[in-house]
């Protein structure tokens, strides 16, 4: 796992001292993502930067990496991520005559493009199983390819310029270049207030994400985007027992692949079905005793109050799994003071490059990863299992399922909207935006075929599953990547393996709920690995602090902001609406957003143009 960035300018030689300095600054912004090494490559119109987090082939695998022909670089690669099938691909390439200089997966990706991608890059990238984002420069064609994994696990952004493009693993790399404007328009504000992915825009004017499963080609003639993967209908015909067996087979293969690392590895354990099954499989296939880590808060279990989505504390279940599986376990226990530390909150926002905040959920995850990084360099996470197997309660809420809108309740930060200037809210036109985003997503859903195609409920649940995988999941993957890579911690997500996603997505909803519960297929496939308490446990969301000290500290900080009319966010606010937040109870996310937006505007020196 690493950080990449670069600059292509077809009308300029980027080997000048000024251009070299700009590339160095861009590359330096990725230092947290790659603390182990740094490299740049510049030739004519192309300048590539790389920061390395060494996971496989610690001594080799330096980047940028070149493929030489006739004594000159023909292909130049900057790569971040992991290709979990690199050993098989390496053998296939060796059988075709390739000779390797390193044992890294980076060189396998480079040579795969030379062998299979010289006519169509989709032929090369389709061979990869993993999480990745990379840039490949062809010196003869003078062509840049920007490529992102199928589910969008690893981030990659680009910013078209008059004569080329800027790109980076994170927006901050692009913003470090003087060609990039630091502007946020109405679209950016809308994006920052919504809890779903908009694959066609970012919060920064002129900046784009490489969409999951897509390749962006940059030449002198312009920029083109093509997809190499998308969710499709499989016409699933396996019965339930066969489906359960296939899910188990896939999970066993996935976990074994994702245990490969030349550095210390652990699992993130919450005591839920997803992380527990993953941890149990990791313990079964690991050559060493697996380390596991869990998040806790001071006094959380003893004083736990059930609420919507959080019916039980994690602690007792975490201990059951750790004992049953035999992990080397540790809890990371946090306090309200730690979560409200201004330095922690500022660092969390800087890591995310977004004013969109999940409040204490973000800062607690940031601190969890900081603590884990002292012991491990790689962590396995259960992220994406709920979206894939139908774990959220909204999947089984008839009102949510039947509504002509995204099925999760937190579509936008409505509480924060109440604190914004009414004229601004009118310009943002949220009703039309939400409707456009929702129906645009529905137009992408592959048609249902096979025996289930005649069932209207199956048809609707196919849409719901697609929305969760393509609009709800991406922000969660991005959040986990940014907050973990802030410390150079590589988080792997086994449930995002595209083979598993393709298979389960094509499975009828009736199979996914065959026992009348959420995540029926996953539970049946892994029940023998787990303590009964976890098998029977109802899903409980990521823990949020329940210490009222956090609430009081947040209100104090928000009040101070409202009393300072010189803050950057002041022109966007309704004074009456903002002060009304202080007189309501369920208002934390509104105050957290306004504080985050202020931090974002001030620290990034962002101009608002609405």
Residues known to be catalytic: 2
Residues in a beta bridge with 330: 293
Do residues 47 and 76 touch, judged by C-beta distance below 8 A?
no
Contact 7, 146 (CB under 8 A): no
Contact 263, 55 (CB under 8 A): yes
109 with 79: CB under 8 angstroms? yes
Residue 239 CA neighbour count, 13 Å, CB half: 1
Helical axes 588-604 vs 342-352, angle rounded to 10°: 70
Nearest to 289 by CA among 321, 311, 264: 264
Angle between helices 86-95 and 105-116 (to 10 degrees): 50
Is the Cα dihedral 473, 475, 477, 483 positive or negative?
negative
CA-wise closest residue to 279 among 381, 369, 153, 373: 381
Indicate the SS3 state at residue 278: helix
Rounded-to-integer distance, Cα 597 and Cα 413, Å: 13
Report the C-alpha gap between 421 and 575 in whole angstroms. Answer: 8
Q: Per the structure block, which two tokens stand in for 92? A: 């296939």
Distance separating alpha carbons of residues 40 and 24, to the nearest angstrom: 8
Dist CA 428 CA 436 (whole Å): 13
Q: Which two tokens stand for residue 16?
A: 């000048």
CA 138 vs CA 121, 361, 529: distances in Å: 11, 42, 48
């Amino acid at each position: 796992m690493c950080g990449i960035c670069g600059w292509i300018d077809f009308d300029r030689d980027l080997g000048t001292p000024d251009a070299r300095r700009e590339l160095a600054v861009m590359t330096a912004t990725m230092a947290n993502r790659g603390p182990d090494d740094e490299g740049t490559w510049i030739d004519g119109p192309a300048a590539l930067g790389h920061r390395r987090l060494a996971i496989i082939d610690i001594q080799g695998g330096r980047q940028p990496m070149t493929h030489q022909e006739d004594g000159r670089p023909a292909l130049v690669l900057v790569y971040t991520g992991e290709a979990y099938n690199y050993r098989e691909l390496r053998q296939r390439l060796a059988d075709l005559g390739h000779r390797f200089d390193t044992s890294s997966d980076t060189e396998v990706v480079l040579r795969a493009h030379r062998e299979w991608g010289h006519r169509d890059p989709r032929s090369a990238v389709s061979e990869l199983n993993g999480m990745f984002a990379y840039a490949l420069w062809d010196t003869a064609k003078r062509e840049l390819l920007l490529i992102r994994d199928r589910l969008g696990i690893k981030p990659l952004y680009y910013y078209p310029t008059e004569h080329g493009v800027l790109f980076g693993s994170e927006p901050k790399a692009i913003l470090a270049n003087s060609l990039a404007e630091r502007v946020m328009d109405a679209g950016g504000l809308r994006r920052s207030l919504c809890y779903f992915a908009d694959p066609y825009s970012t919060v920064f004017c002129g900046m784009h994400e490489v969409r999951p499963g897509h390749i962006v080609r940059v030449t002198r003639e312009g920029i083109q985007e093509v997809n190499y993967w998308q969710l499709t209908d499989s016409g699933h015909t396996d019965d339930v027992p066969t489906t359960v067996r296939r899910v188990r087979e896939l999970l066993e293969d996935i976990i074994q692949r994702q245990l490969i690392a030349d550095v210390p590895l652990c699992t993130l354990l919450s005591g839920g079905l997803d992380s527990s099954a993953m941890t149990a499989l990791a313990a079964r296939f690991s050559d060493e005793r697996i380390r596991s880590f869990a998040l806790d808060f001071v006094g959380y279990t003893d004083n736990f109050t059930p609420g919507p989505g959080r019916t039980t504390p994690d602690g007792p279940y975490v201990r059951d799994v750790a004992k049953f599986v035999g992990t080397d376990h540790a809890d990371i226990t946090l306090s309200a003071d730690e979560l409200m530390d201004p330095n922690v909150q500022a660092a969390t926002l800087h890591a995310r490059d977004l004013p969109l905040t999940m409040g204490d959920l973000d800062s607690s995850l940031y601190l969890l990863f900081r603590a884990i990084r002292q012991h491990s360099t790689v962590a396995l996470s259960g992220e994406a299992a709920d979206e894939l197997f139908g774990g959220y309660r909204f999947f089984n809420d008839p009102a949510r399922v039947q509504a002509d809108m995204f099925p999760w309740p937190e579509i936008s930060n409505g509480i924060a909207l109440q604190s914004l200037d009414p004229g601004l809210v009118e310009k943002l036109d949220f009703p039309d935006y939400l409707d456009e985003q929702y129906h645009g997503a529905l137009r992408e859903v592959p048609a249902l075929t096979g025996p289930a195609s005649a069932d209207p409920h199956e048809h609707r649940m196919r849409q719901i599953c697609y929305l969760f995988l393509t609009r709800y999941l991406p922000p969660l993957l991005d959040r986990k990547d940014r907050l973990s890579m802030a410390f150079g911690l590589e988080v792997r997500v086994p449930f995002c393996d595209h083979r598993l996603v393709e298979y389960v997505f094509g499975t009828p909803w009736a199979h996914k709920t065959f026992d009348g519960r959420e995540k029926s297929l996953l539970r049946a496939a892994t029940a023998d690995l787990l303590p009964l308490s976890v098998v029977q446990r109802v899903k409980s969301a990521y823990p949020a602090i329940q210490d009222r000290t956090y609430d009081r500290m947040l209100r104090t900080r928000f009040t101070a902001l409202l009393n300072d009319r010189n803050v950057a966010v002041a022109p966007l606010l309704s004074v009456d609406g903002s002060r009304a937040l202080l007189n309501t109870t369920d208002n934390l996310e509104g105050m957290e957003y306004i504080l985050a937006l202020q931090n974002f505007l001030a620290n990034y020196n962002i101009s608002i143009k609405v």
